Structure 1
Amino acid sequence: MRRLVLALVTLLMCGFFVPAATAAPPGHDRTETVLATGWKFHLGDVPGAAEPEFDDSSWAPVSLPHTWNAADGADGGGNYRRDVGWYRTRLAVDGGAARRVFLQFDGANLVTDVYVGGRHAGRHEGGYSGFRFDITGLVPAGGFVPVAVAVDNRKNADVAPLDGDFTLFGGLYRDVRLVVTDPVHVDALDFGGPGVAVRQKALTATAAELEATTRVTNDTPVTRRIPVRTVVRDRARRVVAVAATSVTVAPGGTVPVTSALRVRDPHRWNGVRDPYLYSVTAEVGGDAVSVPLGLRTFAVDPARGFLLNGVPYPLHGVNTQLPSRPGRGTAVPDAAIDADYALIAELGANAVRMAHYQHSPREYDLADRLGLVVWTEVPLVGFATDSAAFTANAETQAHELVRQNTDHPSVAMWGLGNEQYVSSPAANAVLAAAQAVFRADDPDRLTTYAHCCLSDSDALAGHADLTGYNRYYGWYLPDAANLGKWADGLHAADPQRRISVSEYGAGASVRQHEQHPVPPVPGGHWHPEEYQAEVAEASWRAIETRPYLWGSFVWVMFDFASDGRNEGDRPGINDKGLVTDDRVTRKDAFYWYQANWSDRPVLHITSARDTVRTTATTDVKVYAGTAPVSLSVDGVPLGTRVPGDHIAVWPGVALHPGPNVVRVTSFEDGRWHTDTVTWTRQP
């Protein structure tokens, strides 16, 4: 017992054993500590909650990430609670005046005010980009300081998005971190970005010419001559390029320093085929920040489509909303995000449109490593407020999107927004303002916009370099086969316009089935899984034969919360996903795209979940690769088919009363593959 007491005393003296979130003892390097535990929460505005001595003993203990809309944000009715939520914790920071201390929020929806020791540390307006506040002057050299955070997800006329066909989950739904640096450091306040931006100036087979700009900050009271070293390493961590210089920075000043680097015999980042990554580390005094580097070129040709490293590379991808789970909303751990991207890779997609706002840092990292080409956008969704404040907010969120993600090689295009419903002067002005930010902050990448609901040539579609069209033929518009006719007409009328299909698809319930389905009512309660698959088949056939479409993005990869919806088999869910919101069930359409897009051997009997049949015969349809597929029912062989267009069909297969075991087999990639279902015929 005495030994245990001594150990506890030692921990207390060292500052490690605390009842609240704490930071590791500082060294000479930058430290980052995730502040996941030790928080208290109260839903509803509370006068005085920012004060240091406020009594929060009755508040609920929570861990981050957290949202208060985990349940009501996905149960339908459009009445999920949009309010102010308060979070409080006690923070221990060692190091005193010799260190700089920042609070970093990876995402808090929608408007956030932070108080440290009762004093206002900062305000952030926007629910999806990260942000940091310098709290050095607000924390004591030792001991604890109370931190209070007010997060407000009520609709705000000056903050984008105003609303959307998705639930705006309130709260600290991403990680919060304590960042501690030396007083001479890489700038931490550049719109939440890393303070390091690498620009590829030229790329050939023999060399890559780079410019790395590091923002150098001197938070000491005297002018300093500060050494700056930039190092490029390959995937094996070998140094392949170095630049060294120094810069004089006045007290409290920040100076950008640009260094030229050359990487010989560059290994290109080549999408899903070879997503090769380098890294760039900027060393400023005792501080260091690393960012990813992928060497590649992007271009879009109006006739040949998307070009990666000079070669046509048609983008076949999916749209994603924020990673989420039932009962947790968007407050999910990293493992859930990793699982989502593992499913995207399994599908065989080579691109992701991260709709309709900036996504989590981990998603961009995963896209880099998996080779997924990314379209990412600011949250200009539906409507725009005609005010200078709203435009300024959109501009700030555009700056944040670029500064925080410019080093990700996966990011190919910045999105100006999605589906402005009215082509008003205000909407056009705010899109033009976002375009100007993107052009100024990143002149190398292309911009795009997801257009819908108005004329194809409306002014809204003319601000970005590229245009995406949300076209739901077979769902909101008649006949999925019309997608190709529409695209041909637009291309013929304006052959220099570079166009994509930014959204297409249909709803599907894995609990509802109909053989040879008729088109359902989109807003109705009957969304048979088979109909989504038929729309997917017709849509992809139209897309893959038209190389001028530089990309296509299925809406959507996963079912997701949209609390205002009441359709399909349950309210509060947009059921157009290829995978259910719990990530348990891959719908039939998932396997259709996988058969067309991936290198995996695919063998999938469609309508497997339609387990109770009332007809004496049924068609058996299988999504497959290219190898011959054999069918048997209850062990009786019924022939072999060579899949045409990745589909094999046996029409009019007899079902006897009771259970029928249906099995298909194929031999591909050196091994046998089997899929089996049981359909029970009831008279």
Structure 2
Amino acid sequence: MNTLAPLSGALAPSHPRPQLQRPGSPWTDLSGHWDFSHDDDDRGIADGWYTAGTAADAAFDRQIVVPYPPESTASGIADTGVHPIVWYRRVLPVQRRNGRRALVHFGAVDYRADVWLDGQYLGSHEGGSTPFWFDVTDLLAEGPSSPVLVVRAHDATRDVAQPRGKQDWQDDPHGIWYERTTGIWQPVWIEEVPELFIEHLSWTPDLTSGSVELAVELNRDPSPETTVGVVLHLGGEVLERVTFAPGARTATHSIRIDRYRNGPEQGSLQWSPENPCLIEAIVTVTGAGAGDEVASYFGMRSASVANGHFLLNDRPYYVRSVLEQGFWPESHLAAPSDDALRGEVELIKALGFNAARIHQKVEDPRFLYWADRLGLLIWGENASAYEFSPTAIERMTTEWISVIKRDRSHPCIVTWVPLNESWGVPQISLDPAQLSYAQGLYHLTKALDPTRPVVSNDGWEHADSDIWTVHDYGTTHAEVAASYANAETALELMDSIGPVGRRMRLLDVADRGQPLMVTEFGGVGYVNPGDDKAWGYSTAQTPEEFEALLRALFSAIQLSPVVAGFCYTQFSDTRQEANGLVDADRRPKLPVATIRSIVIGDRVDTTWQRRPRRPDHDLIDPDLVDTE
């Protein structure tokens, strides 16, 4: 296991916004008990639940533990019924201070949030996966007071134009879908900032020049004398100090890292799963009315594709990924604790994976922090809508832009996946408009972030794509291996109908060296006998049978000379899906060492080398073939 390089005390792993922290300005976590109410008749606004008074007091008839969704047991509500509208209320522990602004932050509220403070409407936010905040300073009274924050969340159960991922639109979970996550499901918190403050930071490393571009977004236009100072350090060593005048609300500045000019030292500074090197930064804003200081970090790494390989830091890198749904029995899409997020990353790595594909969820930034810190590649994916319509296009596009803005500075994220399995574009092979939409999302993502590969539609029915991905749930070694035996069979697959009966590519796209990856396979179900609600794509009855099936399917992919990486379905059991390598409580179904040996396989060099195919070597091991 990697030895963690020391980080300064300026960065707290439990902070809800890991890459923009204010070490000199304490933040207040609002997790805990809030007043709560369902509003099944949608009467709350008309009856004034956002104001003080008898009606509101009577409406909030129970309490919920934030940030756990009301469907979960951790919330104290544990009601999985259909309740599209819910309300929250609590007193804010904040007061007005001269020269300081008070901001209330929401990590994520599913799906639309309306917010009031002491009966005054602050505003709304739409998008169940992205953060938002309000400046409440001008509504606070001088001196001690007890301002009341009220939140109304609307999560329309039947609205399939709403990006929902795997949250069920039916009353009860069915198939591969599970209970809804309604309302607040990521941290709510307060921080104090100066009058002029840093609203957003992003980092873009450039390995060619040995530099990093910093983009700073302020809350308003700065005065002419305003300056931004940056100190980059690694451990106790200061790497660079720069100062520049922002000139406008949004400014960029390229910082050359002198130590990176030394070729032999570059490897030690580059971020990878084997060397998760994080460079810390202190960014200050000084000038008239300004005095902000924030702590941040980034990693020097690049992600690209060429010659049929995925490239990490311009070197071929074999991707061993697992599908991660990020769903917990007690807390659903919300993480049960900060420690659970770290433990999740640690266990994924312990099982032999160097990557995880976050599936139909925008993961908590604290999870991404631990992936950055411990070294785990992440494929970032959006929660899908299910219908194709102007409303769905607007919602998906707006939310996806916010997701990329929030997460593009995390070195762990190496691939973007805006669409999965044609969800939201169900007739993409027949409807030119749906194909144009998928193609548009691909190009939009490349425009927002040209530094990472983009998969246009993971699994099948690709528009343009930087990686050709296949979902293949063949149940035997022979069945899976046959499609990837050599370059000819792989090309035939990609130019025809795929394993689940879908066309693989819908456009005649020039070969740019896109690699081929099997990004869903396996899905072997293994549960206690008699559990008739659990399922997998195939089923094992005993530990021995489970191990044999895993070895057969993993080796079918690993033996291929043309597959550049894989993603096994899946990491943990999720409700009725019993196809995890660990159960829903994160207990491995086989010894960790056994699973690790299967995942890593017998590759000579797992960081880059493909297994060459010798003329006398049959890719299909006859001992693993199911002859029945």
Please report the TM-score for the alignment, with normalisation by the length of structure 2. Answer: 0.76
Deviation at 1:341, TM superposition (A): 1.8
Amino acid at match of 1:481: A
Say whether residues 1:66 and 2:80 are aligned partners: no
2 CA distance for matches of 1:491 and 1:61? 57
**Deviation readout 1:377-406 (Å, 9 max, x if unpaired):** 11225x33311x322221222222211111
- Residues 560 and 521 (structure 1), Cα distance of their counterparts in 2 relative to 1, 3 Å cut: closer
2:300 corresponds to: 295
Say whether residues 1:348 and 2:352 are aligned partners: yes
Deviation at 1:484, TM superposition (A): 2.2
Secondary structure (helix, strand or coil) at the match of 1:127 reads coil
Say whether residues 1:92 and 2:93 are aligned partners: yes
Amino acid at match of 1:117: D
- Residues 364 and 331 (structure 1), Cα distance of their counterparts in 2 relative to 1, 3 Å cut: closer
1:486 corresponds to: 483
Amino acid at match of 2:577: N
Q: Verify the 8 A CA contact 1:385 1:426 in the aligned structure 2.
A: no
- Residues 548 and 232 (structure 1), Cα distance of their counterparts in 2 relative to 1, 3 Å cut: farther
2 CA distance for matches of 1:319 and 1:365? 18
Deviation at 1:589, TM superposition (A): 8.6
Q: Verify the 8 A CA contact 1:450 1:467 in the aligned structure 2.
A: no
2 CA distance for matches of 1:92 and 1:350? 42
Deviation at 1:241, TM superposition (A): 0.9
- Residues 353 and 523 (structure 1), Cα distance of their counterparts in 2 relative to 1, 3 Å cut: closer
Q: 5 Å matches for 1:201-600?
A: 201-203=206-208, 208-218=210-220, 223=223, 225-234=225-234, 236-248=235-247, 254-265=249-260, 266=266, 267-285=268-286, 286-303=291-308, 305-326=309-330, 330=334, 332-380=336-384, 383-387=386-390, 389-420=391-422, 421-423=426-428, 424-425=431-432, 427-452=434-459, 456=460, 458=461, 461-474=462-475, 479-488=476-485, 489-492=489-492, 496-512=513-529, 532-561=546-575, 573-583=576-586, 585-588=587-590, 592-597=594-599
2:147 corresponds to: 145
Secondary structure (helix, strand or coil) at the match of 1:179 reads strand
2 CA distance for matches of 1:589 and 1:302? 37
- Residues 58 and 462 (structure 1), Cα distance of their counterparts in 2 relative to 1, 3 Å cut: closer
2 CA distance for matches of 1:152 and 1:507? 37
1:181 corresponds to: 193
Secondary structure (helix, strand or coil) at the match of 1:535 reads helix
Deviation at 1:371, TM superposition (A): 1.2
2 CA distance for matches of 1:42 and 1:527? 44
Q: Verify the 8 A CA contact 1:291 1:407 in the aligned structure 2.
A: no
- Residues 445 and 241 (structure 1), Cα distance of their counterparts in 2 relative to 1, 3 Å cut: same
- Residues 419 and 79 (structure 1), Cα distance of their counterparts in 2 relative to 1, 3 Å cut: farther
Q: Verify the 8 A CA contact 1:384 1:426 in the aligned structure 2.
A: no
Q: Verify the 8 A CA contact 1:113 1:123 in the aligned structure 2.
A: yes
Q: Give the structure with the larger strand fraction.
A: 1
1:668 corresponds to: none
User: Which segment is superposed worse, 236-245 or 116-125?
Assistant: 116-125
**Deviation readout 1:392-448 (Å, 9 max, x if unpaired):** 221222222211111111111111121114314454343233223322221111111
2 CA distance for matches of 1:118 and 1:356? 36
Amino acid at match of 1:384: E
Secondary structure (helix, strand or coil) at the match of 1:341 reads helix
Q: Verify the 8 A CA contact 1:70 1:326 in the aligned structure 2.
A: yes
In the alignment, which of 145, 166, 169 is matched to residue 181 of structure 2? Answer: 169
Amino acid at match of 2:567: F
Secondary structure (helix, strand or coil) at the match of 2:191 reads strand
1:51 corresponds to: 51
2 CA distance for matches of 1:283 and 1:270? 25
1:20 corresponds to: none
2 CA distance for matches of 1:523 and 1:414? 26
Cα RMSD after superposing both structures: 3.4
Paired-residue identity, %: 21
**Deviation readout 1:143-163 (Å, 9 max, x if unpaired):** 121111112222335431375
- Residues 291 and 43 (structure 1), Cα distance of their counterparts in 2 relative to 1, 3 Å cut: same
In the alignment, which of 26, 34, 37 is matched to residue 39 of structure 1? Answer: 34
Secondary structure (helix, strand or coil) at the match of 1:418 reads coil
Q: Verify the 8 A CA contact 1:104 1:130 in the aligned structure 2.
A: yes
Q: Verify the 8 A CA contact 2:110 2:184 in the aligned structure 1.
A: yes
| Structure 2 unaligned residues grouped into runs of 5+ | 1-21, 168-176, 261-265, 496-510, 603-619
| Structure 1 unaligned residues grouped into runs of 5+ | 1-26, 188-194, 515-519, 562-572, 601-644, 650-683
**Deviation readout 1:333-387 (Å, 9 max, x if unpaired):** 1122222222112112100111112100111111111211110111225x33311
- Residues 357 and 37 (structure 1), Cα distance of their counterparts in 2 relative to 1, 3 Å cut: closer
Amino acid at match of 2:67: P
Amino acid at match of 1:35: L
- Residues 97 and 419 (structure 1), Cα distance of their counterparts in 2 relative to 1, 3 Å cut: farther
- Residues 80 and 30 (structure 1), Cα distance of their counterparts in 2 relative to 1, 3 Å cut: same
2 CA distance for matches of 1:527 and 1:110? 40
Secondary structure (helix, strand or coil) at the match of 2:257 reads strand
**Deviation readout 1:172-217 (Å, 9 max, x if unpaired):** 1221111221011112xxxxxxx111112334xxx72222111123
- Residues 307 and 394 (structure 1), Cα distance of their counterparts in 2 relative to 1, 3 Å cut: same
Secondary structure (helix, strand or coil) at the match of 1:402 reads helix
2 CA distance for matches of 1:202 and 1:497? 21
